[in-house]
Chains A and B, each alone.
Chain A
Amino acid sequence: MNRRSTIRRLFTRLPRWKRMLLAGLMLALVLGLVLSLALLAWPTRHSTPPAAQASNGGFAGLGRAAEGFTQARPGQVLRFPEDHGAHPGFRTEWWYLTANLHDEQGRPLGVQWTLFRQALAPPLAPRGTSEAAGMTNPWASNQLWMAHAAVSQGEEHVVAERLSRGSPDGLAGPAGVRAAPFAAWVDDWQLTGTVPSALSSTADALSQLSVSATLDEATRYRLTLTAKGPLVAHGEAGFSQKAADGQGSFYYSQPFYQAEGEVTLNGETHRVSGRAWLDREWSSQLLGEAQQGWDWLSLHLADGSKLMAFRLRGGAADEGNAQDDSADYLSGSLISTDGILTPLGPTELSLTPLAESSVAGRRLPTRWRLEVPGQGLDLTIAARNPNRWMTTQVPYWEGAVTVAGPDGRPRGEGYLEMTGY
């Protein structure tokens, strides 16, 4: 109070013009302040509080609860060729092809072709705001298709992605899958059955395929795949459990492809040949609520047998005997040369990271030890090159691996996928 009255006294003691000047200066100052404040406030005028983040639900939302979708349950028999096609009642589905190839000079070259289907809403949900009277709307679809392709050799790793919405029933759209004659496509990328029609009644639709993709102007591939063995169903006749609480998926594979074709990588064309593996899997809730991601292996062993193994990280322990360290869920399949499949339960195999690499700003295990004591297998698996990060909308690691025995001798090759890092 005292101070203020002093100021006032000083102010009133000033001659009139000084008072006017002072007042004018104050006014200019205040206006300047207001203006600069307005300036500061302006850019944020339009900003709105960030929308609440949807709950994560594990890697790519695969752990979200699945009301309204069909649940994968054991006991259902796989039917072909119908099950080669899409299962819109389930939320997630994929056609997953990886190929360990070698070029004319014997240098290893990896190829990936993957088509994912994701339902944006349960099939019974209303499709749009309303159906216009008498008009079909080909754009209305709850299905999202996502295709990934990769070609990698040495330091080179070219990745591409294509997205599309689903097509209406009875109309061929830019993306989709047809069970017979088999075809899966997004834009000009396609995986097509080439079984001659004369054989179509006896041979499986997936036994002969042609796959092609154009990643960019300088990278593309076209391969023909010939199955040298039968389809194999994982887990309980195709039901593959993915968590201790019984969550799981339908899962079968064709691991016996002989691949031939042409790959152009960054402008250089190679004749290639090698082995390929196709996975078919669909479910509505692949991961348990607490699972973060998985590490998955498909191996072509030197003796002609095949080995599939995966580790789902977290959520395996029941609530009663929660043990933090052993919370991973492991499973696998050993497939003999003639296609006999031996399921490997959580206790029958172990998968241990040996060394990590720094990839795309993350730490990822790129050297593993896979033990199946009951089958006398003790394998060391190492990425051919740690630089195999898939820079897609849902990023993950996918690359070729070498397999070695305990003595260090090569025991085969395969593919490793690591998600949720």
Chain B
Amino acid sequence: MITGRRSPRLVSRMAPHLVPHLAMARTALITLLSHYRRHPGQLAMLLVGLWVASALWSGVQAINASARDSYARAEALLSPRLERLERRDGAPLGYADFTTLRRAGLPVSPLIEGTIELNDGQRLNVLGIEPLSLPAGGIGEDRRTGNGGEDGANPLGLLQPPGQTRLAPETLATLNFSPGERPITAGGERLPPLVIDAQLPPGTLLVDIARAAELLKRGPRIDTLLLAPGTPAALPAAYRRTPAAQGLSPGQLTESFHLNLTAMGLLALVVGLLIVHAALGLALEQRLGLLRTLRALGVPGRTLVALLAVELVLLGLAGTLPGILAGLWLANILLPDVAASLEALFSASVGASLSLPWHFWAGSLAITLGGLATAGLGMLWRTARLDILALGHALSSHADSRRRQRRQAGLATLAWVFALGLWAWPAPSGTPSLIAGFAMVALALAGSALALPVLLGAALEGLKRCLGGNSPRTALIRWALADLQLQLPRLQLAMMALLLALATNLGVTGMVGGFRLTFLDWLDQRLVADLYLRPPPAAYDSWRDWLETRPEIATLLERRETDTRLIGAEGERPVALQGISADPALTASWPLLATLNADRAAAWQSLREGAALINEQLAIATGLAPGDMLTLASPSGPFTAQVAGIYPDYGNPRGEVTLTVERLIQRFAAKPGSMGLVLTPGLAAADEAALRQRLTRPLPASGEALAPSLVDQRSVHRQARQVFERTFAVTRALTGLTLGVAALALFTGLLAQARERRARLAPLWALGLGRTTLLGVTLAQLGGLALATALLALPLGVALNWALVAEINVAAFGWRLPLHVFPAAWVQALGLAVLVALLAAALPAWRLWRAPPRQLLEEFSAS
């Protein structure tokens, strides 16, 4: 403060002519800011709006940025540019294949992938690499050569006994070990010493292939052979390249998931900025007199605009910075759920702790400040065009607001026309359909929000006309309606926020609720077996033979999976292939969306005879319909089959073709998979327990040392349900928060105009109306307005629900859901809207109630 006092003198020595200007600017700024001293409510509204908007937006962005960082590391771990080799005969690859190809001069490198369990029950992915043969750039150049590795990345580090277990810092944090320690697996083996490697994705342990082969009990078998990109085309005849598209990167798979999140974040940002916009408009309107006075006193218009811009920046920083911190806090809470659902849906490992690049901070700040700038530009524009002589006129005259309403109506119509246009005419090819879907939803929402004040105004006008008679009661009602019309410009932004939040809430609740119903039904239909058994591959046949003799088991449902390519006219695409036992036990309930001639039984019969079923994702992606022919690549040449039907396949990111399990064995050399066991009806509990017990031990006859893994239907059900709940926990949290923001907007809006309201109500009080009546009128006005908004939000919510299930979900995940409508949710939304409005009105009403008569009388002396 002491130096601050001296500074004018310092400045005066440097540039004498600047001093009066600076002093004036300072005084003017202080004068402008003094407005917020008199209206702390407005300041709070501004800051809260900014805070909330930036918190929700940056929270969502933090989640996205963290997830993308994890994907980037996963992709850097094994560059998608690396090609993968497989044997033409479909046999698993082994050490001999590696040797053969290396000796033929091909720079191949083996890879083992698997999961191990530590002795504390924690499961981790293990990646076994051969560091010496790995192509350059395959696993980060410096990890291979050891050049400049700060983590002691020695080329031989992995190889040199006792080797290394490399892991991401996040993984280490969850393990409760320190670097250099050697965790013990559930099988009692010691891992090589832990070494931190920040480039690794979370949840993955990188070890030498020899250690991985031991830990995963692989012997000479490997999972794949990597080949450096650009290796000459010729391969020995027994091998071929696995189609590169097979390994869709997690980043690509999860793009739609993150786009969904971003859209939610954007909505929250818009709702928050609506508050800011309202507050800024109010602050300007109430300072018009002050601005004119300042102009009249000689402050140049440009200086005034600059000062208001400075004010905006100060407010922006003060609101945004704590907002970003709150966003981080929010992201920290939500990230574990997001990570879990990404893992379950897309098998994409995401660290459960935040890891943010620098551009996250810059981006969050820029977006919020940019939003503030758009909200504040109008204010600056109006200040710049301020008419000094237009003394005393309120800026928004009746004619003005009429004009504005007409403009809004025009814009709203335009937005709706565009939205409908997007729906009717699909976007030009090349635009991701998901973006088009979101654009449609955004336009519809914006159009509705813009139309809201117009519609509300028209409704008020209509109501006023309808009121006949001249009783004191109707007079009061007419006054209340007219007064509400006057309040409307001030409340419209808060009402827009409420509309958006309610509609989103309804739409998302409807979508999630509908999805839950469909999904749980579907789970029940698909999970017909009581127990699911996965025997060790080598003992698969012995297990099947043994199980077929068991009286406890009514039906044995075999299932195998493999990967192949769908050969289409415009190229090949990777698909998952599954083989099922087309047993009536399964086919009776297995859901089908579409079949040839709508004949379920015929579809199953043709599957048994060699036709194929495809999942909805594949049908939508390729346009295949029942009756079409499809061609799959198989080890023994192209395999052609008719599409007999389309089945729903929720939660699966990939396209899938289903054949009978026999065909999968004959034509695709599919490895042994799992078996579903339908127990004999009426099986005694003790027998069932004994069977379960038996199924968790190795089969003695086979000489196999490994036990099969057994899962029962209930736990599959539970797991699926958990995935489901976690996936939508974030969505629900965000819609809830958005609704909260809308309530806040309404509340602050009312708070900001409380004083003005008193001036309006004072004459009525003076005319003899009791405070109770006045209070009732105020609450009825707001409650009614909120109710009307909520009623308008209902159709919008249903439309949004429809857009989500029929457009967005199809584009994002590849499945269409039936539209479920939940009237209970509507009632809830209506009640919620009224409650929010009444709560928001409560404090100003309370103040009015408590205002002493003197204050009410003062309203007359003031004006």
A129–B36 alpha-carbon span in the complex (Å): 71
Residues 14-36 of A contacting B (Cβ, < 8 Å): 15-18, 20-21, 24-25, 27-28, 31-32, 35
- Please measure, in the bound complex, the distance between the C-alpha atom of A188 and the C-alpha atom of B322, giving whole angstroms: 63
Q: Which residues of B contact A28 (CB under 8 A)?
A: 314, 317-318, 321
Q: Beyond A144-B159, A165-B159, A172-B99, is A35–B220 a contact (Cβ under 8 Å)? A: no
Whether, in the assembled complex, B724 has its beta carbon less than 8 Å from a beta carbon of chain A, the answer is no
B37 within 8 A of A: yes
Neighbour of B161 across the interface among A7, A42, A125, CB < 8 A: A125
CB-CB under 8 A from A140, the residues of chain B are 210, 213-214
Does A55 lie at the interface of the complex (its beta carbon under 8 Å from any beta carbon of B)? no
Q: Is B426 an interface residue (CB 8 A)?
A: no
From the candidates B145, B150, B156, B317, name the one contacting A144 in the complex (CB within 8 A): B156
Bitwise interface map of B from 4 to 37 toward A, beta carbon under 8 Å scored 1, else 0: 0000000000000000000000000010011011
In the complex, chain A residues whose CB is within 8 Å of the CB of B152: 50-51
Known contacts A31-B321, A135-B219, A139-B208; A174/B98 CB under 8 A:
yes
Say if the beta carbon of B287 comes within 8 Å of chain A. Answer: no
Determine whether A10 belongs to the interface, using a CB cutoff of 8 Å to chain B: yes
What B residues does A167 contact at CB under 8 A? 99
Beta-carbon contacts of B101-138 to A below 8 Å, as 1s and 0s? 01111000000000000000000000000101100000
B705 and A16 contacting across the interface, CB-CB below 8 Å: no
Chain B hits for A20, CB < 8 A: 37, 40
Known: A25-B318, A32-B321, A129-B162. A139 touches B155 (CB 8 A): no
Asked if A135 meets B217 with Cβ closer than 8 Å, knowing A129-B211, A165-B132, the reply is: yes
* A214 contacts B by Cβ under 8 Å: yes
B194 CB to closest chain A CB, in angstroms?
A: 11
**A199 close to chain B: CB less than 8 A:** no
Tally of contacts, chain A with chain B, CB under 8 A: 144
Residues of chain A lying within 8 A (CB to CB) of residue B2: 3, 6
> Which of A16, A48, A142 has the largest count of B CB atoms less than 10 A from its CB?
A48
Q: Which residues of A contact B361 (CB under 8 A)?
A: 35, 39
With A25-B318, A28-B321, A35-B361 given, is the CB distance from A174 to B210 under 8 Å? no
Question: What are the residues of chain A within 8 A of B36 when measuring CB–CB?
Answer: 17, 21
A171-B95, A393-B155 known; A7+B1 contact, CB < 8 A? yes
Q: How far is the CA of A18 from the CA of B161 in the complex (A)?
A: 68
Cβ contact within 8 Å between A10 and B1: yes
Whole-angstrom distance between the Cβ of B179 and the nearest chain A Cβ: 7
A138 at the interface (CB under 8 A from B): yes
Contacts of A165 in B (CB 8 A): 130, 132, 159, 210
Contact check: which of B155, B169, B217 meets A132 at CB < 8 Å? B217
Fill in one digit per residue for B586-603: 1 if any A CB lies within 8 Å of its CB, else 0: 000000000000000000
- B609 at the A/B interface (Cβ < 8 Å)? no
Compute how far the CA of A285 lies from the CA of B601 in the bound complex, rounded to whole angstroms: 78
Q: Return the contact of B318 from the options A27, A50, A134 (Cβ within 8 A).
A: A27
Complex contacts, B95 vs chain A, CB 8 Å: 138-139, 171, 173
User: Which residues of chain A are near B189, meaning CB under 8 Å?
Assistant: 129-130
Contact B105 A214 (CB under 8 A): yes
Given the interface contacts A48-B150, A50-B152, A129-B192, does A39 sit within 8 Å of B102 by beta carbon? no
A48 touches B179 (CB 8 A): yes
Q: Cβ of B215: which chain A residues have Cβ within 8 Å of it? A: 129
Instruction: Check B381 for interface membership: any CB of A closer than 8 A.
Output: no
Q: Which residue of B lies closest to A133 (CB)?
A: B705
Bound: A11/B1 CA distance, A = 9
Complex Cα distance, B856 from A292, in Å, reads 98
Report Cα–Cα, A43/B189, bound state, in Å. Answer: 35
Check B1 against A132 for contact (C-beta < 8 Å): no
Confirm or deny: B744 has a beta carbon within 8 angstroms of a beta carbon on chain A.
no
Query: For residues 156 through 189 of chain A, which have their beta carbon under 8 Å from a beta carbon of chain B?
Result: 163-165, 167, 171-174, 185, 187-188
A142 to B318, CA, bound (A): 62
A107 CB-CB contact with B under 8 Å: no
1/0 contact trace for A110-153 toward B, CB 8 Å? 00000000001100011111111111111111101000000000
| Residue from B99, B191, B196, B705 within 8 A of A173 (CB atoms) | B99
Closest chain-A Cβ to B744's Cβ sits at a distance in Å of 19
- Residues of chain B within 8 A of A136, CB atoms compared: 219-220
- A-contact 0/1 string along B310-346, CB 8 Å cutoff: 0000100110011011000000000000000000000
- Residue pair A17, B34 in contact (C-beta under 8 Å): yes
- Assess the B314–A25 pair: CB atoms within 8 A: yes
Nearest A residue to B1 via CB reads A10
Q: A31-B325, A47-B150, A48-B196 are in contact. Are A187 and B105 (CB under 8 A)?
A: yes
User: Is the CB–CB distance between A42 and B356 below 8 Å?
Assistant: yes
Is residue A46 contacting chain B, with contact meaning CB distance below 8 A? yes
Contact of A50 among B105, B132, B150, B159 (CB under 8 A): B150
Q: How far is the CA of A139 from the CA of B34 in the complex (A)?
A: 77
Contact A144 B132 (CB under 8 A): yes
A132 touches B133 (CB 8 A): no
| Chain B residues whose C-beta falls within 8 Å of the C-beta of A6 in the assembled complex | 1-2
Whole-angstrom CA separation of A7 from B5 in the bound complex? 12
Find chain A residues with CB under 8 A from B162 CB. Answer: 129
> Is there a chain A Cβ closer than 8 Å to B209's Cβ?
yes
B160 at the interface (CB under 8 A from A): yes
In the complex, the answer to whether B209 meets A139 with C-beta atoms within 8 Å is yes
Partner of B214, one of A18, A43, A129, A173: A129
Contact of B102 among A42, A132, A164 (CB under 8 A): A164
Q: Give Cα distance in the complex from A39 to B130, angstroms.
A: 37
Bound-state Cα–Cα, A42 to B215, Å: 35
- Contacting pair A17 B37 (CB below 8 A): yes
CB of B358 closer than 8 Å to a CB of A: yes
Write out, one digit per residue, whether chain A residues 296-323 have a CB within 8 A of any chain B CB (1) or not (0).
Answer: 0000000000000000000000000000
Q: How far is the CA of A167 from the CA of B324 in the complex (A)?
A: 56
- State the CA gap A21–B318 with chains docked (Å): 10
A129:B190 contact, CB within 8 angstroms: yes
Min Cβ gap A311→B in Å is: 29
B322 near A137 with CB under 8 A, answer: no
Instruction: Tell me the B137-151 residues at the A interface (CB within 8 Å).
Output: 145, 150-151
Which residues of A, 45-69, contact B by the 8 Å Cβ criterion?
45-48, 50-51
Please tell me if the beta carbons of B145 and A42 are within 8 angstroms of each other in the complex.
no
Task: Give CA–CA (A159, B198) in the complex, Å.
Answer: 33
Q: How far is the CB of A363 from chain B (nearest CB, A)?
A: 23
Assuming the contacts A46-B196, A144-B156, asked whether A130 and B214 have C-beta atoms less than 8 A apart, the reply is yes
State whether A138 touches B220 (Cβ < 8 A).
Answer: yes
A173 to B102, CA, bound (A): 9
Q: Mark B35-64, 1 if CB is under 8 A from A, else 0.
A: 011001000000000000000000000000
- Residue in chain A with minimal CB distance to B36: A17
Inter-chain contact A188/B208, CB cutoff 8 Å: no
A145 to chain B, nearest CB (A): 9
The 10 closest A-B pairs by CB, nearest first: A51-B152, A17-B37, A188-B105, A139-B210, A174-B102, A46-B198, A163-B132, A138-B95, A31-B321, A135-B219
A-B contact pairs, 24 of them (CB 8 A): A6-B1, A17-B37, A21-B33, A24-B318, A28-B318, A32-B317, A39-B361, A43-B358, A46-B198, A48-B179, A51-B151, A120-B160, A120-B161, A128-B210, A130-B214, A136-B219, A138-B219, A138-B220, A139-B210, A144-B132, A144-B156, A164-B132, A167-B99, A171-B99
Given contacts A17-B33, A393-B155, 10 further A-B contacts (CB under 8 A): A15-B37, A28-B314, A35-B321, A51-B152, A121-B161, A128-B211, A129-B214, A136-B219, A139-B209, A139-B213
Interface residues of B (CB under 8 A from A): 1-2, 30, 33-34, 36-37, 40, 95, 98-99, 102-105, 130, 132-133, 145, 150-152, 155-156, 159-162, 169, 179, 189-192, 196, 198, 208-211, 213-215, 217-220, 232, 314, 317-318, 321-322, 324-325, 356, 358, 361, 705
